[in-house]
């Protein structure tokens, strides 16, 4: 269930770091999953 009352504000540097984690093939899948959730908010 998605909560609509949570909103995260990320700067461009934070967003780029999370995107780099997602595209790095050596990042553990659990961390990629969490990064995708943060970027989706």
pLDDT at residue 2, as a whole number: 67
Q: What pLDDT does 1 receive? A: 62
- Helices (H) and strands (E) in the chain — how many of each? 2, 0
Q: Give the residue numbers spanning the domain of 21.
A: 1-41
Q: Is 39 exposed, middle or buried (0-12, 13-18, 19+ CB in 10 A)?
A: middle
The answer to whether 21 and 32 are in contact (CB under 8 A) is: yes
**Tens of pLDDT along 7-31?**
889 999 999 999 999 999 999 999 9
- Indicate the number of domains in the chain: 1
The reported pTM is 0.78
Rounded CA gap, 10 and 41, in Å? 10
Per-residue pLDDT at 41 exceeds 90: no
């Amino acid at each position: 269930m998605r909560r609509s009352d949570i909103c995260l504000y990320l700067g461009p540097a934070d967003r780029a770091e999370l995107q780099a984690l997602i595209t790095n093939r050596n990042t553990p899948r659990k961390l990629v999953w969490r990064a995708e959730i943060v970027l989706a908010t």
